Amino acid sequence: MENAPALYATAWAVLPPLIAIVLALITKEVYSSLFLGVLTGAILYAGADFDGILTHILYHEVDEETKYGIIAALSDPWNVGILIFLVILGIIVAMMNLSGGSKAFGAWALKKVKSRVAAELATMILGVIIFVDDYFNCLTVGSVMKPVTDNFKVSRAKLAYIIDATAAPVCIIAPVSSWAAAVSSFAGEGQGISLFIKCIPYNFYAIFTLVMMVALIVMKFDYATMARFEMNAVENDDLFTVHDENAGAADAAEEGSDQGIVLDLVFPVVVLVVSCVLGMVYTGGFFSGANFVTAFSDSDASIGLSMGGLVALVLIVIYYMIRRTISFSECMSCIPEGMKDMSSPILVLTLAWTLKSMTDSLGLADYVSGLVENMKGAVVGIIPAALFLIACVLAFASGTSWGTFGILIPLGLAITETHPELSTPIIAACMAGAVYGDHCSPISDTTIMASAGANCNHVSHVSTQLPYATTVAAVSAISYVIARFTNGPVIALVVGLVLLIGTLVFIRGREGTYRIPESANTNKAAASNE
């Protein structure tokens, strides 16, 4: 890098995200924590140059392709596309709420869902079904399932965990997803989607995350920080524990009309899903002759989602006009309401993107690359597990899984030139570790959107999810060691599953866990309607 700062590609590059993460977990306040992380990065980059610090925070251009700062984050085409999609989704949700569609669907679902376990499993299944993109998953599942989980006193932190655990972990094992496209782009010529598919059985973190989620739901208990949130929700009717003004305002806005019908929610959601899928494959060349899988692999999720969202918005407004559920002027009033509801996640995303640019300017990627390069002489048997742990740390610190793919997958392929038998587990380990970081880092955009989808305080979501994700990561690391010495994923998967379930059974019997009482499993709304 030309004109690199004195601390470039050193351990100091880890300091900005470390400060942001630690402060967020201690203070429970995400805006100032992220900004202080950004400020730390600017100081490390500029040194004693005070003007340089301010410049680096706002906008610093190294060359045409390398730009840092808040203004750069907000002018990046990819980021802008995601923000547009966020705003459109906020507008659509506001219209669904105003029409009474969300309320009607909640009332209908409450008659069908008979238990707390069924409510949580239904939320998980919906998350798995919407696998094409993690952003879309996070924001859609929460809007649809909140009325159902609220009835059974499922804390918003637990809802956010279920949403987040069916976002990135599902996308990374779905060949038709924006994540498959990202991995394929880093895999090298001639490998692409075929390498992604080969890695699926070795993606232990994603598979074990889904197993863990089902086990916790069926075994009806929670531990660590989540236990306190669930206990407070069940016993004190407090779904939040840590209250968030923005979440409360968003919930208040979701009361809606009593005249809505289930179709007022189902139609917009279906139109949005179809439009976004078509938008993504359109950007990948599907309508120019490419097959569906190839089009998804080559798609641009940012443009595709914003394009599909815009088309869906127009069709949904027309639907409500025909239905006469809400007037045209009321539809238009939802535009500022939707933007307002998304202001908090947009601000957090902007600061998180800026913090990532600070770590880029300090050479975090090059620092980690150097560490991995030095691993080539390490004990061969632990290379997949070591790469998995490095990917976990890098993605957690930087808040980006796709960036971690770009750093570690090419390095992993270089290692496999001398150890070709490790090709699949090494690449899968890079992917799985990156998903762990994306899944639980407080500066990850997917984590931020899961908080927004559940109307949950962001730090509450991070602090409750982190012990769960780390439990799965520990089991996954052991499984990668086993996979190396058994030359296949089957035994490692079986041993990992036994170890994970055994760990949960052990934890369930310890003090500090919270077992959901049978009284919380009753559908009070359904009972009152009978």
Q: Is residue 88 part of a domain?
A: yes
pLDDT digits (tens, 9 = 90+) for 94-103: 888 888 887 7
Q: Give the C-alpha separation, 409 to 422, whole Å.
A: 13
Look up residue 38 and give its two tokens: 């950004």
Please give the residue range of the domain that contains residue 303: 76-178+246-344
Residue 376: pLDDT band with limits 50, 70, 90: low
Query: What is the reported pLDDT for 313?
Result: 94
Residue 514: pLDDT band with limits 50, 70, 90: very high
Give the containing element (helix H, strand E) for 60: strand 60-61
**Top-confidence residue, 20 or 245:** 20
State yes or no: pLDDT of 383 exceeds 60: yes
Q: Is residue 275 part of a domain?
A: yes
Q: Is residue 10 part of a domain?
A: no
- Give the side-chain half-sphere CA count within 13 A for 15: 17
Look up residue 221 and give its two tokens: 């208990």
Query: What is the reported pLDDT for 123?
Result: 92
Query: What is the reported pLDDT for 176?
Result: 61
State yes or no: pLDDT of 530 exceeds 50: no
**Mean pLDDT throughout 148-163?**
93
**Helical residues (DSSP H) of 417-457, grouped into ranges:** 423-440, 445-453
368 φ, ψ (degrees, to nearest 5): -70, -40
pLDDT digits (tens, 9 = 90+) for 409-450: 877 777 776 677 778 898 899 999 999 988 888 888 889 889
State yes or no: pLDDT of 347 exceeds 60: yes
State yes or no: pLDDT of 501 exceeds 90: yes
Is residue 459 within 8 A of residue 21, CB to CB? The reply is no
Q: Is residue 95 part of a domain?
A: yes
**Mean pLDDT throughout 458-474?**
95
Look up residue 393 and give its two tokens: 């740390």
pLDDT digits (tens, 9 = 90+) for 318-344: 999 998 888 899 999 999 988 887 787
Query: What is the reported pLDDT for 496?
Result: 97
Q: Is residue 335 part of a domain?
A: yes
Angstrom distances, CA of residue 267 to CA of 101, 137, 163, 467: 10, 17, 21, 38
Give the containing element (helix H, strand E) for 204: helix 204-219
Residue 255: pLDDT band with limits 50, 70, 90: low
Domains of the chain: total: 1
Q: Is residue 352 part of a domain?
A: no
pLDDT digits (tens, 9 = 90+) for 195-237: 788 899 999 999 999 999 999 999 999 999 999 999 999 999 9
Query: What is the reported pLDDT for 157?
Result: 96
Look up residue 439 and give its two tokens: 């899944």
Closest CA to 158 of 167, 170, 171, 149: 149
Q: Is residue 222 part of a domain?
A: no
State yes or no: pLDDT of 459 exceeds 70: yes
As to burial, measured by CB atoms within 10 angstroms (0-12 exposed, 13-18 middle, 19+ buried), residue 394 is: buried
* Bridge partners (DSSP) listed for residue 514: 222
**Top-confidence residue, 466 or 77:** 466
Mean pLDDT, the chain, integer: 83
Query: What is the reported pLDDT for 209?
Result: 96
**Mean pLDDT throughout 163-184?**
77
Query: What is the reported pLDDT for 247?
Result: 59
Percent helix, strand, coil in the chain, to 5, is: 75, 0, 20
Q: Is residue 109 part of a domain?
A: yes
User: What's the chain's length in residues?
Assistant: 530
Q: What percent of the chain has pLDDT over 70?
A: 88
* Bridge partners (DSSP) listed for residue 68: 60
